[in-house]
Chain A
């Protein structure tokens, strides 16, 4: 089997786990993560839910060190992320990241968006990188748009390109930071479909999301965070379908049925 095939064959997904121990993160005197512990097994899909400001995005961004934790330990696929001597760039190659705002490179066309890191970081030849990028664009259903520029695509298409861009680096773990929150409602489904497919292929996924139906269907586990701590976690069906903690119940009531909230008197 040649390299290209190996890099693009979805059946070959090599998945890494994540282990987070007592993670703390503060901005000044404001502690946003107050000792979070969370384990994600290789191939597992974990959704992080919770109100805004609960620290779920910060937690996600700590995993690939876009935020520097103050205390605690993170292990990602054989790397100790919190070790001061860790090779951050090498570690990040194993971790794909998808942002709420897509963050495609606007000066590069879709194909170059997916090849630039392959050639500059992994030192793949342009030819090989093109093939891998094209295969991943096909995988997210956008192979025919490889010559477009990001501003010529809809939000949903941009987000799918962002996923293909991350996949082209052959990550062993994918982080999704509210991937559908900035999308027009009619394009959300396409992005979720790609993520669902990825989950089925065995990718380890850590997803911050407000899409409860998606979490319920795709996630192996759901983690509810509030005020910088994990309030409740467990099988998706149970946490979303039959939450035990009052804070989880309150949050889900607001998210699942926003039209029936009474005006609070205070």
Chain B
């Protein structure tokens, strides 16, 4: 029997809701709630994590991310300009760099700078510098591609107008093109910060002193010391969301604003 479009839409909704209910029910039945209560949602025992995880962990995560982003942004801008350069060698170097650092796990970069550099050059960097450089160099590769796309999205007429007014190429770039490109890439750039926030957890592979702990390290430490199972990781995870969700909302706000000005 033929159905109207409205009937078909309603049946589709019922089917989707049915699948959802069955899946949730199966999950609830299959879960060992007693164990989960002891080792995942065991909030009675996590008291000792505070206030350290906030005043040290959350703060360090924010600091490491900010430092990594600062290096990543300046490096990314340099790479993006190199990639658009008329000098082929610069383009090759930038392409090589970007492909390399986007292609290998960030973890390897942390190990390289944490253990490889001291071995090779006999210098011992402090943890903050290692995070800043490792995180920054990986971020630069991603940010470079974002910025390059942004720079290319600025209409060619903008450069032509600037050059027609007697601005040299670099001046047109700095005063006219780059500010517009940044406006275009604000939403994707905010997403880069979110990725960086999470990647800052990779610092756990280095030996840290207590004052250098960030969120993930606090969580892992809590697992072994508190006897609350995985609950400390749940707390750490929640605190990451405290950072990343506002950033997400910010990115969405930027997006709607740039959509509005474009008309």
C-alpha gap A101/B160 in the complex (Å): 11
* Contact call B183/A121, Cβ cutoff below 8 A: no
The residue among B161, B163, B171 with the most chain A CB atoms within 10 A of its own CB is B161
* Contact call A166/B165, Cβ cutoff below 8 A: yes
Binds B, one of A77-85, A91-99, A194-202, A215-223: A91-99
Q: A92-B166, A116-B176 are in contact. List 18 more A-B contacts (CB 8 A).
A: A66-B160, A66-B163, A66-B164, A89-B163, A89-B166, A89-B167, A92-B164, A97-B160, A97-B164, A103-B155, A105-B162, A117-B162, A117-B166, A120-B171, A121-B165, A151-B263, A166-B165, A169-B165
Please report whether the interface of chain B is mostly helix, strand, loop or mixed according to DSSP: helix
Instruction: Report A's interface with B, CB cutoff 8 A.
Output: 64, 66, 89-90, 92-93, 95-97, 99, 101, 103-107, 116-117, 120-122, 151, 162, 165-166, 169
A92 in contact with B157 given A116-B175, A120-B175, A151-B261 (CB within 8 Å): no
* Contact call B165/A103, Cβ cutoff below 8 A: no
C-alpha gap A164/B109 in the complex (Å): 53
Contacts between the two chains (Cβ within 8 Å), count: 64
Closest to A162 in B: B161
State which of A104, A121, A151 has its C-beta within 8 Å of the C-beta of B166. A121
Tally chain B residues at the interface, Cβ within 8 Å. 20
Nearest CB in chain B: distance from A162 CB, A: 8
**B residues less than 8 Å from A162 (CB atoms):** 161
**A residues less than 8 Å from B96 (CB atoms):** none
* Contact call A120/B167, Cβ cutoff below 8 A: yes
**A residues less than 8 Å from B261 (CB atoms):** 106, 151
Nearest CB in chain A: distance from B94 CB, A: 26
**B residues less than 8 Å from A97 (CB atoms):** 160-161, 164
* Contact call A92/B165, Cβ cutoff below 8 A: yes
**B residues less than 8 Å from A103 (CB atoms):** 155, 157-158, 160-161
**A residues less than 8 Å from B183 (CB atoms):** 107
Q: Top 4 closest A-B pairs, CB basis?
A: A117-B165, A103-B161, A97-B164, A93-B166
